[in-house]
Structure 1
Amino acid sequence: MNEHPIVLRAQHVTKTYGGAHALSDAHLEIRGGEVHCLAGANGSGKSTLIKILSGVESADRGEIEISGDTVTRLSVPGAIARGIQVIYQDLSLFPNLTVAENIAMTSRVAGHTKVVSAASAKRTAAAVQERLGLDLDLDAYVDTLSVAERQLAAICRALANEVRVLFMDEPTTALTWSEVQVLFGVIEVLKADGVAIVFVSHKTEEVFALSDRITVLRNGRVVSEGLVAEFTRDSLVEALIGRRELEERLVSERTGNEDVVLDVAGLGAPGQFRDIAFQARAGEIVGLTGLLGSGRSEIADAIFGIIAFNQGSVTVGGRPIRSGSVKSAIDAGVAYVPSDRLTQGVFLEQSITRNMIASALSRFSTRWGWIRRKAVDAGVSRLVDELHMKVGSPAHPVSSLSGGNQQRVVIAKWLATEPKLLILNGPTVGVDVGSKAAILQILREKAAEGMAVLLISDDVPELVAACHRVLVVRRGRLVDEIRSDDVSVDTLRERTIA
């Protein structure tokens, strides 16, 4: 294989924050026309390295070369002018501007354009879109787009300014499998044009499908690097977390307890879903999957009382749940881990302790409403141990934790209520492979103890690893049920997108 030219090189990069080393003598070589995966657990230093290479942060020590030129001081405008851009998870688009205006924005700023021309922006956007073979509505406002369309618009924006190195932070986190395939096709076009793609991903399957090279960071240091062919899945996981962690189908057989915990009968909500009927039994993990917009999340929201239903019924442990009543669901023994932990799951600046007891205050209070400190300390300590959390002190704010540990705080908050039914919507989105394996193991353990679990996800390997059976939702209807040994990656993908 002929070596592609190095377009970006970093050597001996060190960065500390308050005495803690985010990066220690890190290095990275990026080649044009290649896809380079920057892998690592949450807190490994990936984001810090990307910020330094894109001018957002300055290194304490180290050298950066761009196309052979040593750069002593790099700013964000300077990085963009040299063809280096980053697409962050939030995409940083302007929701109140059109697709064309967003695509042309960076090139306008770089060119110091003072006169705004909608026609010029549209010509720029159309040329970029044609180059990638896309068909976005250039006149649509960004806030009307799907997540996948916004991701493609962000890529177009980078190309409008002659990008040479494009960093993509978790580009497929909120995309369905079919949308991921479209993104992969766009990346192949960029590769063919000589653009270097550096992407961050926690999905090992995705890493092997897309990468030419892999660099693994752990605790701020490069611990492994090379061509993708030099890695196996096991060796990559071992490099990521320092040990081998098997993620294959490890779900145990059900406990044999046939008690029905969740009974959904003829459930319907206007414009959301209809005729939904299924059960979840004690000790069972039931998956609920489907394409984005299929209605899978709305069904979970209705069970927990977030949205109202006008047809059918939901009972938990034989107790009816009132339509649109979260209190009724919690009183019946339902717990819900939402899809967005940062805005819906935790109070970031509050302590780990306060977050963990937030949904179960009555269990830690006297009859007069006083908090029982010893009970709180014992409960939090038990949950920290049970969920294998890495916390300096439960008094520290949740914002001080890695993404994986933040997610475990959300799960702990609801486990503190001792629920009969635990609903989780995308519980491992944005967490590293070690935390993902730990979270799935927690679900298996809770099911083995007799809890019923409803797992909403479009992460096919996750569903295979965790579920006893999987229900497929399409256009607001339950269209398929995949049981036990038939739950496989190929079967799920085939039936989900059919």
Structure 2
Amino acid sequence: MTPSDAPVLEVRDVVKTYGGVHALRNVSLQLLPGEVHCLAGENGSGKSTLIKIISGVEKPDSGTVAIDGQVHAHLTPNDAIHSGVQVIYQDFSLFPNLTAAENIAMLSELAQGRKISSRRRISAEARRVVADLGLRLDLEADVIDLPVADRQLIAICRALVNDAKVLIMDEPTTALTHTEVDRLFTVVRRLQVRGVAVMFVSHKLDEVLRISQRVTVLRNGELVESGPASDHTARSIAKAMTGREVSEERLVSDVAPDAPILLQVENLSRAGGFTDVSFALRAGEILGITGLLGSGRSEIAEAIFGIHPADSGTIRVGGKVRRIRSIRDAVSAGIGYVPEDRLTQGLFLDVSIADNLIASSLDSYRTRTGLLDRRRVRDSITDLFRRLRIQAPNVGAVVRSLSGGNAQRVVIAKWLDRKPKVLILNGPTVGVDVGSKEQIIGILREQAAAGVGVVVISDDIPELVTSCHRVLVVHEGRVVAELSGDQVDAHEIERRMAA
């Protein structure tokens, strides 16, 4: 469908400041009916603030938002919803204990002021919108029991029940497999046919170029680029986001063939997770482990770190057999682990950066009398804060206030403070902007150069290609391919994953 010339949403000269700092400075953009418009920018660029203003959560200092030609100096959330603006956040904001049908229809029921809900009416409404989009969903299943991809589609269906004209999707593909992304994009194209304008917010620039007609880039609160997606490449968008060239080259140093083996896994198995997994990791090497969601890639990492121990097999660290039945066993063996969900598993969100940095290594700072050597603690915190390039006012800032990229740096720094022999990272750059991603990969290269063995669990194929010496492909719990040298290629990895 060709988008209409008349914008359904128009943001005009919006300014927003927090404590004298400009989050947005004279930002203007338009969304046309039936268009997918990508909003790109690094963490802290102003994307979230703009979404909050469009959805009525925040009030601009100046400027206006117009929906279907009606100008608003300040929208409330109810105004935005009634005008047809819907936001699907990363967590989807669904009710986990309600069925798919109830989640789809419940807000419509409330909006109509119904005090008593009819299961038959809710089911009929949910079936109508699901059929209209050509979807297959188990409408009677509780949302908590459904996969992430189905939850994403339920959130879209809920927006359409409420007659969405503008649908804002915040990082919609973060937890989806390639097949699920294709399925989502099919639904987005059906929304275009209906005339729905979609604002697509994503750090995955290859996906941006697949689905978007136009691209708008924010940097430091200012609009720096806006135009047809066909005029851009992933590299040009990344440059607009960061203000500099971002390297996508494969940069891996040579690993000496006689470099010591730091981690050796032999015939590792866990019922329902993976079977007969074997590999070796040398000092200075970055090893990628990839596979589709549910392939067993994360379960392998969790077994090595003792979160869900293996049923059988052998793990050697530094040539010594280690019986890893708990996280404490893994840490004692010299293994560090950066989890996939850093916000709930890797950080104390309401605690300072400083306290998070030394949370896992406090005992190493104790004197012979058992007291903390506060000078050493202070020096280490300062060094980690500087070396990991954590962007925050100071080390006393609360972790909850940090962007995704800076939060990830804190998790990595916490483990580096323990000086591990082996560092395993599960999805190290998920939800992180292109500039932060480049810096995090740079940190991993630095650790490998210092002799650490690094394992990266990821389905971000460009990330694996640029940083890994070798890549293991996991399918249905088994390692089905080991790629090295020229074989570490995006097309080859995709082919092996799909086989």
Structure 2 length-normalised TM: 0.97
Alignment-mate amino acid for residue 44 of structure 1 = S
Q: CA deviation at 1:155?
A: 0.7
Contact 1:77 1:110 in 2 (8 A): no
1:93-492 paired onto structure 2 within 5 Å: 93-492=94-493
Report which stretch shifted further, 55-64 or 94-103: 55-64
Secondary structure of residue in 1 paired with 2:24:
strand
Alpha-carbon distance between aligned partners in 1 of 2:393 and 2:437, rounded to the nearest angstrom: 21
Q: CA deviation at 1:217?
A: 0.9
Alignment-mate amino acid for residue 308 of structure 1 = P
Contact 1:305 1:322 in 2 (8 A): no
Alpha-carbon distance between aligned partners in 2 of 1:203 and 1:2, rounded to the nearest angstrom: 24
Contact 1:4 1:34 in 2 (8 A): no
Contact 2:342 2:411 in 1 (8 A): yes
Alignment-mate amino acid for residue 115 of structure 1 = I
Contact 1:319 1:332 in 2 (8 A): no
Secondary structure of residue in 1 paired with 2:141:
coil
Cα deviation 1:148-195 (Å, max 9, x = unaligned): 111111111111111110000000011111111111111111112111
Alpha-carbon distance between aligned partners in 2 of 1:180 and 1:229, rounded to the nearest angstrom: 21
Q: CA deviation at 1:359?
A: 1.2
Alpha-carbon distance between aligned partners in 1 of 2:422 and 2:166, rounded to the nearest angstrom: 46
1:36-115 paired onto structure 2 within 5 Å: 36-115=37-116
Report which stretch shifted further, 33-42 or 316-325: 316-325
Secondary structure of residue in 2 paired with 1:215:
strand
Q: 1:32 to 1:3 in 2, by over 3 A?
A: closer
Q: 1:5 to 1:413 in 2, by over 3 A?
A: same
Alpha-carbon distance between aligned partners in 2 of 1:11 and 1:319, rounded to the nearest angstrom: 64
Number of residue pairs aligned between Structure 1 and Structure 2: 498
Alpha-carbon distance between aligned partners in 2 of 1:349 and 1:230, rounded to the nearest angstrom: 43
Q: CA deviation at 1:135?
A: 0.5
Alpha-carbon distance between aligned partners in 2 of 1:377 and 1:232, rounded to the nearest angstrom: 44
Alpha-carbon distance between aligned partners in 2 of 1:248 and 1:157, rounded to the nearest angstrom: 42
Alpha-carbon distance between aligned partners in 1 of 2:110 and 2:258, rounded to the nearest angstrom: 63
Secondary structure of residue in 2 paired with 1:443:
helix
Contact 2:262 2:422 in 1 (8 A): yes
Alpha-carbon distance between aligned partners in 2 of 1:109 and 1:352, rounded to the nearest angstrom: 41
Cα deviation 1:314-350 (Å, max 9, x = unaligned): 1111233324221111111100000111111111221
Alignment-mate amino acid for residue 313 of structure 1 = T
Alignment-mate amino acid for residue 57 of structure 1 = E
Q: 1:250 to 1:235 in 2, by over 3 A?
A: same
Q: CA deviation at 1:55?
A: 1.3
Identity among equivalent pairs (%): 53
Alpha-carbon distance between aligned partners in 2 of 1:256 and 1:469, rounded to the nearest angstrom: 13
Contact 1:251 1:466 in 2 (8 A): yes
Alignment-mate amino acid for residue 450 of structure 1 = G
Alpha-carbon distance between aligned partners in 1 of 2:88 and 2:394, rounded to the nearest angstrom: 34
Q: CA deviation at 1:2?
A: 7.0
Structure 1 length-normalised TM: 0.97
Q: CA deviation at 1:257?
A: 4.4
Q: CA deviation at 1:235?
A: 2.2
Contact 2:46 2:220 in 1 (8 A): yes
Contact 1:287 1:454 in 2 (8 A): yes
Q: CA deviation at 1:255?
A: 4.2
Alpha-carbon distance between aligned partners in 1 of 2:47 and 2:370, rounded to the nearest angstrom: 45
Secondary structure of residue in 2 paired with 1:5:
coil
Alpha-carbon distance between aligned partners in 1 of 2:318 and 2:166, rounded to the nearest angstrom: 55
Alpha-carbon distance between aligned partners in 2 of 1:426 and 1:471, rounded to the nearest angstrom: 15
Q: CA deviation at 1:264?
A: 0.7
Alignment-mate amino acid for residue 192 of structure 1 = V
Alpha-carbon distance between aligned partners in 1 of 2:192 and 2:430, rounded to the nearest angstrom: 27
Contact 1:15 1:61 in 2 (8 A): yes
Q: CA deviation at 1:386?
A: 2.2
Q: CA deviation at 1:34?
A: 0.7
Alpha-carbon distance between aligned partners in 1 of 2:63 and 2:264, rounded to the nearest angstrom: 60
Contact 1:255 1:448 in 2 (8 A): no
1:15 is matched with 16
Q: CA deviation at 1:22?
A: 1.6
Q: CA deviation at 1:256?
A: 4.4
Alignment-mate amino acid for residue 348 of structure 1 = L
Alignment-mate amino acid for residue 444 of structure 2 = L
Alpha-carbon distance between aligned partners in 1 of 2:391 and 2:54, rounded to the nearest angstrom: 29
Report which stretch shifted further, 33-42 or 118-127: 118-127
Q: CA deviation at 1:356?
A: 0.8
Alignment-mate amino acid for residue 336 of structure 2 = A
Report which stretch shifted further, 487-496 or 105-114: 105-114
Alpha-carbon distance between aligned partners in 2 of 1:240 and 1:255, rounded to the nearest angstrom: 37
Secondary structure of residue in 1 paired with 2:8:
strand
Q: CA deviation at 1:53?
A: 0.5
Contact 2:287 2:470 in 1 (8 A): yes
Alignment-mate amino acid for residue 116 of structure 2 = V
Q: CA deviation at 1:212?
A: 0.7
Q: CA deviation at 1:409?
A: 0.5
Alpha-carbon distance between aligned partners in 1 of 2:35 and 2:153, rounded to the nearest angstrom: 19
Q: CA deviation at 1:442?
A: 1.0
Contact 1:81 1:110 in 2 (8 A): no
Give the root-mean-square deviation of aligned CA atoms.
1.5
Q: 1:117 to 1:408 in 2, by over 3 A?
A: same
Alignment-mate amino acid for residue 490 of structure 1 = H
Alpha-carbon distance between aligned partners in 1 of 2:405 and 2:420, rounded to the nearest angstrom: 22
Q: CA deviation at 1:479?
A: 1.6
Contact 2:289 2:472 in 1 (8 A): yes
Contact 1:4 1:33 in 2 (8 A): no
